[in-house]
Amino acid sequence: MSEEFEYEKEQIMDMGSVTVEGGDYKIHCLTIIGQIEGHQILPSDVKSTKYEHVMPLLASIEESKDVEGLLVLLNTVGGDIEAGLGIAELIASMKKPTVSLVLGGGHSIGVPLAVAAKRSIIAPSASMTLHPVRLNGVVIGVPQTYDYFGKIQDRIMNFITKNSNINRDKLNHLMFNTGELAADVGTIVDGEDAVNYGLIDQLGGLSDALDYLHHEIDMAKSEK
């Protein structure tokens, strides 16, 4: 095995990405945690997932003849909207079996990432935070700025409703709720409520996620 290959393998392992082989199944496990880092580089002491690393990796997984399914482990606290939505779009467009497992929390852009997979699962102790689009820093106060915010919000809501079973009116209510968060607009939804609302497919854990992938891989093999 070449030194170059070993170096690339170490880099992938460092970003929480590894192909797991067990019996007849080869599943790639990808962790998306902390903030989604986009064009702005976050401080070194901030836990982040870099979108420029995840995007080509997803393309490689989809093209790989060895990898048969993708498990995405999620524990996010927000981040770059465009980068997170870009990753979600790639996951949603994959033909291979995909499953997401929300652990701890799915905040802001973590919601589209969770529903992007063909099957979404949330741990009973996990939660999801839904709120409208906000940007930090200096904002130019012109009408076009508010139009831009509105268009981003529509894109996110369209993606979530397209890739889950939640009603748009319910999603809108949860995002713009002013009665739950003390210093913010939005709603924290626990695992059971996320399933009841149709946002996430089921409650469960790692074994449930792997069982789903095994079943889908078996179905794909039988069709061939």
Residue 33 bridge partners (DSSP): 75
Q: pLDDT tens digits, the chain, 224 residues: what are they?
A: 444 434 344 444 445 678 887 778 999 999 988 878 777 777 676 777 788 888 999 999 999 999 999 999 998 887 778 888 999 999 999 999 999 999 988 877 889 999 999 999 999 999 999 988 766 555 556 666 667 777 888 999 999 999 999 999 999 999 999 888 756 788 999 999 999 999 999 999 999 999 999 999 999 888 87
CATH number for the region 3-223 comes to: 3.90.226.10
Q: Where are the alpha helices (DSSP H) in 176-205?
A: 191-196
Residue spans of the domains in the chain: they are 3-223
Tokens representing 206 are 């790692």
d(CA 164, CA 120): 9
Catalytic residues: 108, 131
